[in-house]
Amino acid sequence: MDDKIWLRLIGTICLTILAVASSVLAVCAAEWSPRKSISYITTTGPGGGIDITMRGIRPGLSKYLGQPVIIKNMPGAGGGLAMNFLFRSAPDGHTIGCNDPVSLMGKEAELTVDYKFADFVMVGRVNARYYGLAVSTKSPYRSLADLQKAAAARPKGKPLRMGGIGLATANAVNATLALPMMKLPFTYVGGMKGSADAIVGCLRGDLDMLFYPCETYTEFVKSGDLRILFHTGPKRDKDFPDVPVVKELGYPELEGLAMSVVVMGPPRLPENIRAALEKALVKAGNDPETQAWSEKMKIPMEPLTQKEFEPVITRAKNLMKNYAVLLKQYESWQNP
Amino acid sequence: MLEAITIALGKLMHFDALILIFIGAFIGLVFGIMPGVGGVTALVLLTPITFGWEPANAMFFLTGIMGAVGFGGAVPAILINTPGTAMAAASCFDGYPMAQRGEAGRALGISASASFFGGVLGLVVLVVLIPVTRKIVLMLGPPDFFLTVLWGLSAVAVAAQGNMVKGLFAGGFGICISVIGFSPVFGVMRYNFGTLYLYEGIPMSAFLLGIFAISEVLHMLTKGGAIADKQIEGTLKGVLGGIMDVFRHKKTFFVSSVVGVIVGIVPGIGGAVANFLSYVANMQLSKHPETLGKGDPEGLIASETANDAKDGGDLLPTVAFGIPGSAEMVILLGAFVIHGIQPGPGMMLNHLDVVFVLILGLLVSKLMANTLGLMASTYLIRIVNIDVKYLIPFIVIISFVGCFAYRGNLWDIIPLLIFGVVGFGARRFGFPRVCLVIGYILGDITETMFHQSLMISYGSYSTFVNTPLRVVLLVLVVLTVSVPFFRGLKQTIKMG
């Protein structure tokens, strides 16, 4: 065979490979759409915080994905059962779940679980509720500086008291990350039946401070029972215009620390499926009907894409790097 | 306050409102009777249908459900030893033996009237205390609750009389079972053998249905015949006798109402604790504690009264701070938000009429549900004369379904069967089941309240004696634990 034939043959083979490769790429790049209903796994029972948020965005998700989205409540093991289920689900986009990244990372650090936070594929954020530190209005603390002074003046073994459901839960993990940086040693009173129980404990004088998302305090601030000293949001809240944010107080690294509802998929979820889910999530969150629901229920609905949300995750991961050290420090406050 | 009552009464006097309460009460009764699916499930499923309704009508419908669940749960507890809800579990101890004696009608009469009047008293207490609700809620803290629950736990010593070693063993075993799982105080897992299944401990439905229903099935298999050895008495006569029993045992009724209201005030503590705490409180105060657990009407009055008196206590933190006193109240407060009522400390100022809508809704619901239940009891009590070979498959099926429905986990059937065998063994070898269940229900909460108290006081034990109320409670605990010792001493002296 002469050279021309060889060249033609090689050219034909190259073109065939190119054609096949581009058609495969084209198929991969095509927007994914679900073939059947989507199971949405939540870590709480019906009526729980995350469940209510997801029920608010569900109609929009169904609308933009073109398939019914069915919420499956899997409470148990502090969210562990739901996350285990999601971890073992097929990465075909028909099973997704949601959780708060920081509490997920905290649980991973403190308990034995099969999965790791990094295993899950982040789709996007539904909302974020920024943490605020509140005290009783009957206490002498009017600012963070007052509280820091009081903390420094306390005898060893008697740090400030804060409380909640228990260690390894969202508010305990976030407090462990934030408060030592602000020179606020604390002891955590666990076993409370939720934020309401803790608020009554604070009003009774059993607790010195509270660390929950700001919305938790709204009615108690209005009634003059609680005072918020700061919150972790990026800017001052329109409901609490006098309350400074952490950045103003010199703690920019704590900005954005929040109880977030983040939608995530199982490990190895292909990028085109993730992107399609992300697009639907953002559209659903911004849908006028969802926004009207958000306004009525007073539950924020501020969807973000994975890219927009990435800096918050990176900051949380950086904070979590010191978590083991902080836990040791926490123990030293209890037993000086 | 009068204005708020008038507004709420005006809303109740509409035909729509009464019909909605009736429908709610009927649904609540059915959900209460079915084991494993209590008031919380009913409220979660049905709250969404009220979204478009007028707020007062929605509240009447939802309180209709809430008010009826208590009595509903007692019906299967009395007739087939299968508690419909956890808060009816203590009713098995005396209600079922009464049914076995052919007094099912009387037991249902006691249950209906005790729960109705207990509920009324709880709500009256709430209305009276409305001006001082904040003070009361802020006055009682973890040390008070710890000492109250410890007093309940110390009843093991009373319940174990005559068989102290076995009683204490059963109580201790119950406490050990109660601490399985994640400890929120210490942030560690305990006795879970590396499995996430035991993260939240042994599920209450599996434990209670096993100890009562499945163990009874095993007993029926060995015994045969019917539940009641003799033909049942006339229904109407029995029911009326039961209603009168409540008036004959005024002390039991009042003690149980007080216990119910106090437990209701503590956020997140379920009706099961109110039920058992009231039962053991009466056991300690009874002149003849040895008859409790053997079909004594006093025991049934104690558990049924506290069940419903708790509703008044549940509403205290809701009225004072807009915070839920129970799981049902969490759902109800969620419904408030949907209907544009923001729960919070401003509720007493801005929405006192809504509080009275709740109170009236609960009252009317209890009246309707208990009347409806008693009317149905004419037919229901015939169950106790049916041959057990026809009843056993029915009890097994509803126990399995109830156990699964509690949290939708099929694995819960395994502890159900295990505790069925444990309950049967305890009965066979003379270990008092009441001690076992008291240990399980009160063990975990006693531990949590104890550690909370110490953490708040930086480890100072003086926190348990620094108020007069705490000293009184501590003296009660000491006296209760010493009762068997003094009784033994008295007997020794008598015998010379």
**B140-198, pLDDT tens digit by residue?**
889 998 998 888 888 777 776 667 788 888 989 999 999 998 887 777 788 888 787 88
Q: Are B31 and B42 in contact (CB under 8 A)?
A: yes
How far apart are the C-alpha atoms of B118 and B253, rounded to whole Å? 7
Residue A69: CA count within 13 A, CB half-sphere: 25
- What is residue A25's predicted lDDT score, i.e. its pLDDT? 57
User: Is residue B449 less than 8 Å (CB to CB) from chain A?
Assistant: yes
DSSP string, B309-338: HHHHHHHHHHHHHS--SSHHHHHHHHHHHH
- What is residue B21's predicted lDDT score, i.e. its pLDDT? 92
- Which range of A1-5, A214-218, A276-280, B84-88 scores highest in mean pLDDT? It is A276-280
Q: Check pLDDT > 60 for residue A34.
A: yes
Tell me the sheet residues that pair with A262.
Answer: A99, A125
> B51: exposed, middle or buried (C-beta count within 10 Å: 0-12, 13-18, 19+)?
exposed
**Model pTM?**
0.80
Please give the mean pLDDT across all residues of chain A. Answer: 85
pLDDT bin (cut points 50, 70, 90) of residue A47 is low
Question: Which backbone phi and psi does A310 adopt, to 5 degrees?
Answer: -55, -45
User: Is residue A78 less than 8 Å (CB to CB) from chain B?
Assistant: yes
Tell me if residue B470 falls in helix, strand or coil.
Answer: helix
Tokens of B397: 């099926």
How far apart are the C-alpha atoms of B259 and B274, rounded to whole Å? 7
Tokens of A54: 């997801």
Tokens of B63: 């309180």
Checking ipTM against 0.90, whether it exceeds it is no
Q: Check pLDDT > 60 for residue A336.
A: no
- Min distance A321 CA to chain B CA atoms (Å): 20
- What is residue A146's predicted lDDT score, i.e. its pLDDT? 93
- What is residue A312's predicted lDDT score, i.e. its pLDDT? 80
* Mutation for testing the A interface, residue in B133, B144, B182, B453 having most A CBs under 10 Å: B182
Whether B337 sits inside 8 A of A297 (CB atoms) is yes
Q: Check pLDDT > 60 for residue A24.
A: no
Q: Check pLDDT > 80 for residue A247.
A: yes
- Within 161-200 of A, beta carbons closer than 8 Å to B belong to 161, 165-169, 172, 187-194, 196-197, 199-200
* Identity at B432, one-letter amino acid code: P
Residues of chain B with pLDDT under 50: none
How far apart are the C-alpha atoms of B416 and A148, rounded to whole Å? 52
| Range with the poorest average pLDDT among A119-123, A286-290, B55-59, B383-387 | B383-387
- What is residue B234's predicted lDDT score, i.e. its pLDDT? 58
pLDDT in tens, B265-303: 776 666 678 888 888 888 877 788 778 888 889 999 998
A298 chain-B contacts, CB cut-off 8 A: 337, 342
User: Is residue B52 less than 8 Å (CB to CB) from chain A?
Assistant: no
With CA atoms as reference, the chain A residue closest to B350 would be A223
- What is residue A284's predicted lDDT score, i.e. its pLDDT? 93
- What is residue A278's predicted lDDT score, i.e. its pLDDT? 93
Q: Check pLDDT > 90 for residue A134.
A: yes
User: Is residue B322 less than 8 Å (CB to CB) from chain A?
Assistant: yes
With CA atoms as reference, the chain B residue closest to A77 would be B199
Question: Which backbone phi and psi does A135 adopt, to 5 degrees?
Answer: -130, 165
- Which range of A208-222, A322-336, B24-38 scores highest in mean pLDDT? It is A208-222
- What is residue B156's predicted lDDT score, i.e. its pLDDT? 76
How far apart are the C-alpha atoms of B218 and B423, rounded to whole Å? 9
